[in-house]
Structure 1
Amino acid sequence: MAGSYCRVETRGRILIVTITRPDVMNALHRPANLELEAVFDGFARDPDLWVAIITGAGDRAFCAGNDLKYQAAGNDTTMPPTGFGGLTARFDLMKPVIAAVNGIALGGGFEIALACDLIVAARGANFGLPEPHVGLAATAGGLLRLAQQIPTKKAAEIILTARRVPAAEGEALGFVNALADTPAETLPAALALADRLLAGSPMAVRAAKELMLRAQDGDDLATLYARQRTYPAVRALYDSADRVEGPRAFAEKRKPVWTGR
């Protein structure tokens, strides 16, 4: 299915979202952000979709961030409630999302990638938060997430100097999970990673993601440990058919048939 600013397709349990504004390096303006918000709203609601991948059209850019020409023309640039790309402020999505970074990921594009759970990047891709050079700040989560995900001094250098980070360095720093040799190989690599996620119960994956995110909230370990089963995704796992199916399949020496329910 093609929208005005993105293309959406499904492969089994996987949703693939491709930003289709290659003429502006897949930069996003308000209409594109609203369209992506609607797409990820649908993904969150659909019980048959378990993993999402977001990528960019072409081989030059994943997303070059905010469409500055659109902004400079005086257009409305209000962010949707779920943030840039419909993802950066979406804090209640426990389904995993993979960024397939096929080219540059700058500003809001880097912020989208950082908001995803996993990042696969082409070796020629690079990342950066160039906002200081245009009198802005990366307030769609980039400053917060990068400082969480890599060592503080490294984050400070990247943020304050606004330099670009090659994909291989991103892997060394820990915010890139895997490298693909070419832009064309990025999506297949992301799909292979998604297949690995699908080998587990989607209910268990969501519970694991929620607990991992809760661990970043700052509560002490004893408090988090005591509250584990009170969180929504964890409660859903323990009430699910998947929780019964997993041990049964193990005992019967067969692959489990997950239902996500």
Structure 2
Amino acid sequence: MDFITSEVAGGVRTITLNRPEVLNAINADMHWELEEAFNQFAAAPDEHVCVITGNGRGFCAGSDLKAAVAEGRRPYPPHGYAGLIERFDCPKPFIAAVNGLALGGGFELALACDIIIAAESASFGLPEPLVGAVALGGGLHRLSRQIPLKQAMGMILSSRRVPAEEGYRLGFVTEVVPDGDLASATQRWCTEILRASPVSIRASKEIVMNGLKAPGIAAAMAAQPDDPAFQTWQNSEDAREGPRAFAEKRKPEWKGC
């Protein structure tokens, strides 16, 4: 890996964008390195949470336009931009730990995560129209679904950069923390997730995502028993271990299956 680092500890894979000299802007090779790292996370039975962050003073400034002009555009990997934007088949949680600028494709990468933890100095935006481009890496669709439409359109059409606190008020940021507390806050979120059954966590994420495709809550709940994630959880050892441990007043021993 030349442009990212990928480390695993205690069930958490941490992927760090590592081109600080260009605010971690993504070039063609970086897309494929991210694809490989996310593939490894998705396939590993003992990895339960993936954290994505940036090295230096930026999370990710989006696409490296200078590199794209010099090298020409290459196809994105199978899971789309940054190897994550179209990764709809991974039920494990992704956390974006945003330590600075998250613009364009960097904001799209964060929006593709389940949780966004932002340092106070972080900011977000989709400035693609300023360079004659369009935010086609999921940003237009995710932002307009994750916050009120008029607020999303205001950000999209003005190319305005939004500070972390405003992102929290709008609803696409989960938590804002002091700059020096980002790592500890991220670890706190990981620890809280890891307390629970991995099967239950994966089922919860899949049921939420599948339910959002339904026309309403009644339809989503009616379809729930037939959801493969529901059935996997219902037939899992963890589903039996949880009540058993509670009744025996002990800490559950999750099998993840």
Q: What band does the TM-score fall into relative to the shorter chain?
A: over 0.9
The answer to whether the Cα contact below 8 Å between 1:85 and 1:112 also exists between their aligned partners in 2 is yes
Give how far 1:155 is off: 0.4
Of 109, 114, 125, 1:112 maps to 109
Counterpart in the other structure of 1:85? 82
RMSD: 1.2
Counterpart in the other structure of 1:248? 244
Give how far 1:126 is off: 0.1
Counterpart in the other structure of 2:124? 127
Of 176, 198, 205, 1:209 maps to 205
The answer to whether the Cα contact below 8 Å between 2:11 and 2:46 also exists between their aligned partners in 1 is yes
Q: Does 1:24 align with 2:22?
A: yes
Q: Show structure 1 runs of 4+ deviating over 4 A.
A: none
Of 178, 181, 190, 1:181 maps to 178
The answer to whether the Cα contact below 8 Å between 1:55 and 1:187 also exists between their aligned partners in 2 is no
Counterpart in the other structure of 1:56? 54
Give how far 1:74 is off: 4.2
The answer to whether the Cα contact below 8 Å between 1:94 and 1:233 also exists between their aligned partners in 2 is no
Alignment length, in residue pairs? 257
In 1, distance between residues paired with 2:71 and 2:29? 14
- TM-score, normalising length from structure 1? 0.95
Amino acid at match of 2:105: G
Give identity over the alignment, percent: 48
The answer to whether the Cα contact below 8 Å between 1:62 and 1:101 also exists between their aligned partners in 2 is yes
Amino acid at match of 1:150: I
In 1, distance between residues paired with 2:136 and 2:28? 16
Written as runs of structure 1 = structure 2, the 5 A alignment for 1:10-21 is 10-21=8-19
Amino acid at match of 1:100: A
Counterpart in the other structure of 1:258? 254
C-alpha deviations, 1:40-72, integer Å up to 9, x for none? Answer: 1111110000011000011x1101101100111
Of 33, 42, 45, 1:44 maps to 42
- TM-score, normalising length from structure 2? 0.97
- 2:35 is paired with a residue of what secondary structure? helix
Q: 1:74 to 1:10 in 2, by over 3 A?
A: closer
Give how far 1:248 is off: 0.4
Give how far 1:76 is off: 2.8
The answer to whether the Cα contact below 8 Å between 2:58 and 2:99 also exists between their aligned partners in 1 is yes
The answer to whether the Cα contact below 8 Å between 2:6 and 2:14 also exists between their aligned partners in 1 is yes
Give how far 1:258 is off: 1.1
C-alpha deviations, 1:209-248, integer Å up to 9, x for none? Answer: 1111112214343332222132232222112110011000
Report which stretch shifted further, 249-258 or 156-165.
249-258
Gaps of 5+ in 2: none
Gaps of 5+ in 1: none
Q: Does 1:224 align with 2:220?
A: yes
